[in-house]
Structure 1
Amino acid sequence: MAERTLPRRAARAGFDVLERLDAATGFSRLYPDESNAILAYHAVGRPAGYGNVSVERFRRDVAYVTEHFEAADLPDVLESSGGKRVAFTFDDALDDFYEHALPVLREHRIPATLFVPVDFVGGGPDGYAYRFVRSPAEHASFNDPAAFADESVPDPAVMSWDRLREVAADPLVTVGTHSRTHLDLGRVRDAETLEREIVGARDELQARLGVDVDRFCYPFGRYTEEAVEAVRASHAMAVTSRPGVVGGAGRTVTEADRYRLPRVRAHGTERRVRWDLSGLRWRLTEYIE
């Protein structure tokens, strides 16, 4: 932590100015950036919303990354390369990944990680669709479907097993685990539930798809220490929803970091996402109280 800090309100105002200036000049790319980054997407081609971007916007994101950085597979961002690596990740394995995102990735030969909520493949269990449109931060009883029994929520349109097998066979795509029922792991400490949601989900993916699965994504980015330990015992790495970049400023990625990797939320404005990809933006964050 820097010795001198700015008040949070003043820092936010300053960041907004820097974000606008960076959009106009690209000055952040002149900073000797040792950090890598992970982009987090949900839907591509759906109406604007949390985690959703248009196909045209996704194409611009890809063009920006490939022009200025190295588009890399997720494990590669854990290592320093002398340049800046950016990995593409997609939560929920939605049909529009297959229909809209995958053709663009194939066109540019970009690797990606697709995180699958296993019980929703081909259609989820009755009464659980709310887990894709409600926030656990706003509902103390989020993990109890009975608390949402009166809500009518459309199925999240996770792709079918046949389609998922086709995607998993593509050398550009690596499948990862996104739990079994997309629950809030920030409220789960029970070993049996963690075994079912984390290890059991991974085992089913491996058996049905015929591929090794060693990457995990915490639903909503939330977890308990018990959840982290269950992931550590069954996977090689895990991503969160905590904003930030990987490594940088001479900092190596530790074993603990591997299971709490931050990501850049790709559904913000283009100028915000590009600013958030820069190591300079996060270096300056150290000066906020």
Structure 2
Amino acid sequence: MAERTLARRAVRAGFDALERLDAATGFSRLYPDESNAILAYHAVGRPAGYGNVSIERFRRDVAYVTEHFEAADLPDVLEPSGGKRVAFTFDDALDDFYENALPVLREHRIPATLFVPVDFVGGGPDGHAYRFAESPAERASFNDPAAFADESFPDPAVMSWDRLREVAADPLVTVGTHTRTHLDLGRVRDAETLEREIVGARDELEDRLGVDVDRFCYPFGRYTEEAVEAVRASHAMAVTSRPGVVRGGGSADAGSPDRYRLPRVRAHETERRVRWDLSGLRWRLTECVE
């Protein structure tokens, strides 16, 4: 046990050193990297925290991606291109996407996917705001609102239907499903619940917005095999919160990625970490030490 702990610490120290070196030299960009990547954002312009970045930080992310890679729409990361593509995704359809992120995306003509928790559009169901503030990994009763009845949580500020229609009409933005109630799909195997949360949510988005919806995002990146199958039957692809790049998307010789369990790079990490995590070299080295 002690030896394994020391080995893990040594690996972490080694990767931290490589991350710092890459920040200083950019050596990872010399690696012939054709592994595409997906960036995962939540809020843009809120205080620092999980999923949140400042507007200034978001602008720097956009500048870095457009300078060194090709900013692409989400399905394009599944196809070989002879280069490296990076897709921008945003979970939760928050008002600050409209106010802070979309103007930057428009300025640089960058496509993005916006994942919508349908029942929270314009104000969520009573007693469910905790699902944007608490982690299901830490609460066994996460899917039971009664377990949080004595606690107070801020409104997640999901945009209104009118605002969402305007966003969905923008050719740069594609709307995707993020369930109805932002529940933990890692604890759901019931077919009726999956139908309502996955297929029903998609159907309502299509009806209200007048667009086709075929992209899905698992809340918290968690799912059961039954949930994956429900998504597979109703959508063309799905993203998770598992860190990594899309191996097989950029190279015709690398095999096909699992389009229903696509990894993403967590954009709320430090800039140094995000730029290192975008590198295919970083994940090749990870495989070598696992």
TM-score normalised according to structure 1 size: 0.96
SS where residue 6 of structure 1 aligns? helix
Tell whether the 8 Å contact from 1:248 to 1:279 is kept in structure 2 after alignment. no
Pairwise CA RMSD of aligned residues? Answer: 2.8
Tell whether the 8 Å contact from 2:84 to 2:250 is kept in structure 1 after alignment. no
CA distance 1:213–1:243, shift in 2 (3 Å): same
CA distance in 2, matches of 1:142, 1:80: 40
Tell whether the 8 Å contact from 2:37 to 2:265 is kept in structure 1 after alignment. yes
CA distance 1:252–1:225, shift in 2 (3 Å): farther
Q: Which residue of 1 is the match for residue 237 of structure 2?
A: 237
Per-residue CA deviations over 1:4-54 (Å, capped at 9, x if unaligned) read 999322111000000000000000000010200000000000000000000
CA distance 1:91–1:249, shift in 2 (3 Å): closer
CA distance 1:148–1:5, shift in 2 (3 Å): closer
Give how far 1:287 is off.
Answer: 2.1
CA distance 1:249–1:206, shift in 2 (3 Å): closer
CA distance in 2, matches of 1:143, 1:4: 36
Tell whether the 8 Å contact from 1:88 to 1:112 is kept in structure 2 after alignment. yes
SS where residue 5 of structure 2 aligns? coil
Tell whether the 8 Å contact from 1:2 to 1:287 is kept in structure 2 after alignment. no
Tell whether the 8 Å contact from 1:72 to 1:111 is kept in structure 2 after alignment. yes
Q: Which runs of 4+ in 1 moved over 6 A?
A: 1-6, 251-256
CA distance in 2, matches of 1:255, 1:33: 16
SS where residue 35 of structure 1 aligns? coil
Per-residue CA deviations over 1:140-195 (Å, capped at 9, x if unaligned) read 00000000001111110000000000000000000000000000000000000000
Deviates more, 1:160-169 or 1:2-11: 2-11
Q: Which residue of 2 is the match for residue 12 of structure 1?
A: 12
CA distance in 2, matches of 1:6, 1:278: 26
Give how far 1:265 is off.
Answer: 0.1
CA distance 1:6–1:258, shift in 2 (3 Å): farther
CA distance in 1, matches of 2:122, 2:104: 23
Structure 2: unaligned runs, 5 residues or longer: none
SS where residue 140 of structure 1 aligns? coil
Q: How does 1:53-92 map to 2 (within 5 A)?
A: 53-92=53-92
CA distance in 2, matches of 1:229, 1:133: 27
Q: Which residue of 1 is the match for residue 152 of structure 2?
A: 152
Tell whether the 8 Å contact from 2:82 to 2:250 is kept in structure 1 after alignment. no
CA distance 1:85–1:157, shift in 2 (3 Å): same
CA distance in 2, matches of 1:159, 1:258: 28
Tell whether the 8 Å contact from 1:119 to 1:181 is kept in structure 2 after alignment. yes
Q: Which residue of 2 is the match for residue 39 of structure 1?
A: 39
Give how far 1:248 is off.
Answer: 6.7
CA distance in 2, matches of 1:288, 1:5: 14
SS where residue 257 of structure 1 aligns? coil
CA distance in 2, matches of 1:270, 1:263: 15
Asked if residue 258 in structure 1 is aligned to residue 259 in structure 2, the reply is: yes
SS where residue 4 of structure 1 aligns? helix
Tell whether the 8 Å contact from 2:80 to 2:250 is kept in structure 1 after alignment. no
CA distance 1:214–1:74, shift in 2 (3 Å): same
CA distance 1:204–1:80, shift in 2 (3 Å): same
Identity among equivalent pairs (%): 91
Give how far 1:92 is off.
Answer: 0.1
CA distance 1:161–1:80, shift in 2 (3 Å): same
TM-score normalised according to structure 2 size: 0.96
Give how far 1:251 is off.
Answer: 7.3
Tell whether the 8 Å contact from 2:198 to 2:230 is kept in structure 1 after alignment. yes
CA distance 1:249–1:100, shift in 2 (3 Å): closer
CA distance in 2, matches of 1:288, 1:178: 34
Give aligned pairs, total.
Answer: 289
